[in-house]
Structure 1
Amino acid sequence: MKFELLPNEIFVECFQYLNAPDIFNSFDRLNYHFHTLIRNSPLHLNFQQFKKSLFNEFCQTILTNPEIKQNIISLQLSNESTCGQIQSFLSLISLNEFIHLRSLSLIDINDENDEQLLSMLSLLSNLDCFSCTCSEYKTLKIISVLTKSKIRMLTVPQFNFNSTSVYKTMSITSLTISNCDLSDLCQLFKYTPMLKYLKCEHFYNSQITDDELNFTNTNIVYLQKLIIDSSSAKFQVLELLLKRISNLKIFSIFAPNVLELIDANRWQHLIESSLPYLHTFNFNFGYYAHHSYNEKLIKFQQFQTDFWHKQHHWYTNYEIEGFTALIYTLPYVWNEYTLTSTMNRYNDSLISYSNEFDNVKNLFLCTKAIKNNSPCFFRNIQSLILIN
């Protein structure tokens, strides 16, 4: 069968994985069939890291083909290294002209965008997903005008949770936040009762206050997936949080330097008493301490009992290098890894993972660790940095 004779449904499905400018550059001039099809298909438009000339070119394409605007369902604009891309775009095209826009991402918003942007955002009643990076003050102003929208997925940096009236009218089910602590989450959960997914990029340790202790009377019944990209919180803080999320099914945490988290018995007690539905527990714990080699081994081997292996099928590898030690679950779910020549790796003997590091995209590799019989295999690397 000839390429152009494939059903339109196949092309429309493929277009969902491509950027709108690439679709137009590839298909617009082939024939009338494709010329018409791409103007009547849902489009994703991502201008992040776009050259100025290509940005201007596709903006002109939109202006000369106004029917394109009604087919754009997701839009990403960025001022990062682009010399005011957001304001340039808004000066040409108003956001409310994208009548079927469902997802909007605005990166590095500055002062010049404020009033114009706020007036446009208030009209995006069909928006389902919104993401922005800007100052705390701007974030609150922007979200306050989105209360009339149908926002379900929200990504924002740190901001003042004391101003929570914004959230009371928003049925957010998915939230990604850059920086927060337990106090922030205590406030947040009061106004997002339907939250199902929460990702904290940086979760900080904090002193336990009366408000946090009272938080134990709160149950977050819909939250099923919690991801903490980087945590400095003590076990007690995490314990207070997790005890209120009794329906949690998936929990991932990276804590590179919190020794007390490497306590298998304490985790087992918490899971058995408070997390009955937890089926996926991804963790990467590390610490730097003058413990003996055997002391490190004993702490890590506690994660290889029947509770971890037979009951939950959670398997771990651990690594020791000098005073540094870490333990992580298999497969390795994080996208960054460092491989050195002096590292001692201990693989779980009960399981063999040929795809152990398939999620790693960024590899820091000590040149002395390069050898023909290396047990580590990285098949999906996008960035490689060699270190001495």
Structure 2
Amino acid sequence: MIINTIEDLSNDIFYEIFEYLYFNDIHKAFSKLNNRFQQFTHLSYSKYNILIDYTSNEKRTLKQLKRISSINKNQIFSLSIWTWINNNQILSSFNFNSSYSNLQYLILNYLQANSIPIILHQLIDLPRLYSLTIQTEEKLKTFGKIYQLVFNLPNLKYFQCRAEESTDSNINKSLPIALSQQITSIKQLIINHPCNFKQLIHLLSYTPKLQYLEYLNLNDNITNLNILVSIQLLNLTSLSIRSSHTMFDTLEIYLDQFEFNLKIFSIDIHIYDQNYLNAQRWELILQRNFPQLEEFYMKYTNNFDDNHQPLLYTGQSNEFSSLFWIQRQWLLDIQIEFDCITYSIHPYKKRWFEYNEQERIDLSKSKQLILNDVSLERSYQTLTIHHYIKQVKSVTHIDHLSINTQIFVIKLIEILQLLPELDSLKLSSKISFQKPRKVHHNELLNIFCSINRINITKLYLEKIRQMKDISFFLTICPLIKQIHINNLYKINIQSFLRLILTQIKNQLRFQNLRLLSIRLPIIDDKIIFKLKQIIQNEYLLNDFTIKRIEEIVFLEWK
């Protein structure tokens, strides 16, 4: 059969299309075509994803509700409500009951806190409710009661609750430890509101089938072991913690109370406690509690102000380079911006200079420092980037530096002098020779003569406008072996290669360079062939290879 028009398509095709569209879009797209499509949108076989989005137009929202009320409730597959306009009126118009026989996904945002228990009582009749997300901008006075109602939903596998800080300090009374007949089917639980350890223990006693847990703010620092209760969650493979209050000693006590088989562990901490940088203690905790762990993510953020300069780390330096961390390929990055330093542990990811898969990567030399702000003195009288770098150096040496903001050339050189172990430098913005003041040629010459040896071998430049940008770095970093350029900025690739390859032949300071990689948005095999011909015909290089990988041209020579 030859299909010439959309009307000749089978209903099965439209069933598949409808599964990826919200009902409002379906109604707008199809209801005015012809009688067939007007009828089709009401067929009992169709399943709809319905979205009531935030809008300041109350009439439009109510009009959407009226349109939705015309379909059969058993056609609704998912429902998302993202508006606080007449919120209670909107929710009451749905009147959740067993007629929503196919509703599996429900998202309710900006709820009034007092309406949540009422809705949850209705949801008990939904036979296929699989996923539930509830968000309120208010405080939950007794979130123990809310969780008890949620745990009564018979088929729920995913639950997320977001709220302001709760005032319920007696959740262990409103939600007692679960009995064997009270366990739920929930496999993924996201507690996006402050929850202390006692409260967490009571919640988790209902969820032995839990596989993924994410919770916020263990907001106590209990160290009395006598009051803690151990709990088994043998199905739990992924755990994520965010906290602004928990000291490391308390966290260690918490983790020792659980028994589970974690594969992924993530922790995000915002508190001053140098113990979070103690790699040896982390090693003992992870080996003791999570012997099967495959992925470890840790973010420890240290905030400072003008009256509190970054303190030097008092423990052993370079501990995150031990065999334990290298074997697991869990690497350390440090990020500096405005008023904080963030130390991050994460699994190894390929970096910009690691294009050769045959080349062995030395993960013991993988520590990266990322600078998002280099002019802290604009905000603080006593703090400068030098204070932050000294604090970082007390924790570990730095192998790779990435600067994501414009930087004055004098400050760049000062930073490079502070980091003598650097092997690579990545500049995602330009260096300035004009601001905050103009740098004269004689001043640069004096700098070149006075700086200590810089050992950088790999250079990334986001954009170059002229050849002297590269010449500058080859002068201060004479050991550079490879350069990556992300944007030539109106410079012709043929002219650029002629110029730089000619200088390689004629100038001593280019002699270590062996690899150029340049991203060209428009590149094909014809251009590669033409570049090869230019190099050969003009005797610019003897022993070389040139190839492209997607948008990047790689030119390598011996």
Choose from 126, 146, 154 the match for 2:159: 154
* 2:398 equivalent to 1:340: no
After TM superposition, give the deviation of residue 282 of structure 1 in Å: 1.3
Choose from 236, 239, 243 the match for 1:226: 239
Name the residue aligned to 1:62: 68
Is the CA contact 2:107–2:134 (under 8 Å) kept in the aligned structure 1? yes
Choose from 196, 207, 217 the match for 1:181: 196
1:74-153 equivalent positions in 2, closer than 5 A: 74-78=78-82, 80=84, 82=85, 84-85=86-87, 87-96=88-97, 97-110=99-112, 113=115, 117=119, 120-134=122-136, 135-137=139-141, 139-146=143-150, 147-153=152-158
Name the residue aligned to 2:437: none
CA offsets 1:316-363 (integer angstroms, 9 cap, x no match) = 211356984321134799xxx99323466999859x9xxx9xxxxxxx
Residue 100 of structure 1: SS of its match in structure 2? coil
Is the CA contact 2:405–2:429 (under 8 Å) kept in the aligned structure 1? no
Amino acid at match of 1:56: L
Is the CA contact 2:177–2:205 (under 8 Å) kept in the aligned structure 1? no
2-structure distance, mates of 1:175, 1:27: 38
2-structure distance, mates of 1:247, 1:8: 46
Choose from 249, 255, 265 the match for 1:251: 265
1:1-388 equivalent positions in 2, closer than 5 A: 4=6, 12-13=15-16, 15-31=18-34, 35=38, 38-39=41-42, 40-50=45-55, 51-63=57-69, 65-67=70-72, 69-78=73-82, 80=84, 82=85, 84-85=86-87, 87-96=88-97, 97-110=99-112, 113=115, 117=119, 120-134=122-136, 135-137=139-141, 139-146=143-150, 147-156=152-161, 157=163, 158=166, 160-165=171-176, 168-177=182-191, 178-210=193-225, 212-215=227-230, 218-243=231-256, 244-257=258-271, 258-288=273-303, 290=309, 295=313, 299=317, 301-309=318-326, 311-320=327-336, 324-330=340-346, 339-342=372-375, 371-372=429-430, 373=461
Amino acid at match of 1:44: N
1-structure distance, mates of 2:229, 2:25: 53
Is the CA contact 2:147–2:203 (under 8 Å) kept in the aligned structure 1? no
CA offsets 1:232-289 (integer angstroms, 9 cap, x no match) = 3122222233332440111111113343211111111111222111111111112247
CA offsets 1:100-147 (integer angstroms, 9 cap, x no match) = 112223333337746863553342243222222354346445554451
2-structure distance, mates of 1:11, 1:211: 61
2-structure distance, mates of 1:189, 1:320: 37
The 1:246–1:114 alpha-carbon spacing in structure 2 relative to 1, beyond 3 Å, is closer
Is the CA contact 1:341–1:368 (under 8 Å) kept in the aligned structure 2? yes
Amino acid at match of 2:184: M
Amino acid at match of 1:234: M
2-structure distance, mates of 1:24, 1:332: 47
Name the residue aligned to 1:382: none
CA offsets 1:68-110 (integer angstroms, 9 cap, x no match) = x212122233553x2x22x222443311142211222333333
Higher RCO (CA 8 Å, separation ≥ 6 residues): 1
Residue 237 of structure 1: SS of its match in structure 2? helix
Amino acid at match of 1:104: L
Amino acid at match of 1:173: K
The 1:58–1:79 alpha-carbon spacing in structure 2 relative to 1, beyond 3 Å, is closer
The 1:126–1:109 alpha-carbon spacing in structure 2 relative to 1, beyond 3 Å, is same
2-structure distance, mates of 1:204, 1:117: 29
Which structure 1 residue ranges, 5 or more long, are not aligned? 357-364, 378-388
1-structure distance, mates of 2:323, 2:113: 57
Residue 130 of structure 1: SS of its match in structure 2? strand
The 1:183–1:203 alpha-carbon spacing in structure 2 relative to 1, beyond 3 Å, is same
2-structure distance, mates of 1:121, 1:330: 40
The 1:173–1:14 alpha-carbon spacing in structure 2 relative to 1, beyond 3 Å, is same
1-structure distance, mates of 2:173, 2:213: 19
May I ask how many residue pairs the two structures share in their alignment? Answer: 351
Name the residue aligned to 2:548: none
Amino acid at match of 2:122: M
Moved more, 28-37 or 340-349: 340-349
Residue 119 of structure 2: SS of its match in structure 1? helix
TM-score of the pair, normalised by structure 1: 0.74
CA offsets 1:32-53 (integer angstroms, 9 cap, x no match) = 5655555443322232414433
Pick the structure with greater CA Rg.
2
After TM superposition, give the deviation of residue 305 of structure 1 in Å: 2.6
The 1:21–1:267 alpha-carbon spacing in structure 2 relative to 1, beyond 3 Å, is same
1-structure distance, mates of 2:325, 2:61: 52
2-structure distance, mates of 1:297, 1:324: 20
Is the CA contact 1:284–1:327 (under 8 Å) kept in the aligned structure 2? yes
Residue 171 of structure 1: SS of its match in structure 2? coil
1-structure distance, mates of 2:127, 2:17: 28
The 1:109–1:280 alpha-carbon spacing in structure 2 relative to 1, beyond 3 Å, is same
Cα-Cα RMSD: 4.0
CA offsets 1:125-182 (integer angstroms, 9 cap, x no match) = 4322222235434644555445153222222245524322596342322211111122
Name the residue aligned to 1:384: none
2-structure distance, mates of 1:90, 1:325: 44
Is the CA contact 2:406–2:429 (under 8 Å) kept in the aligned structure 1? no
Is the CA contact 2:336–2:372 (under 8 Å) kept in the aligned structure 1? no
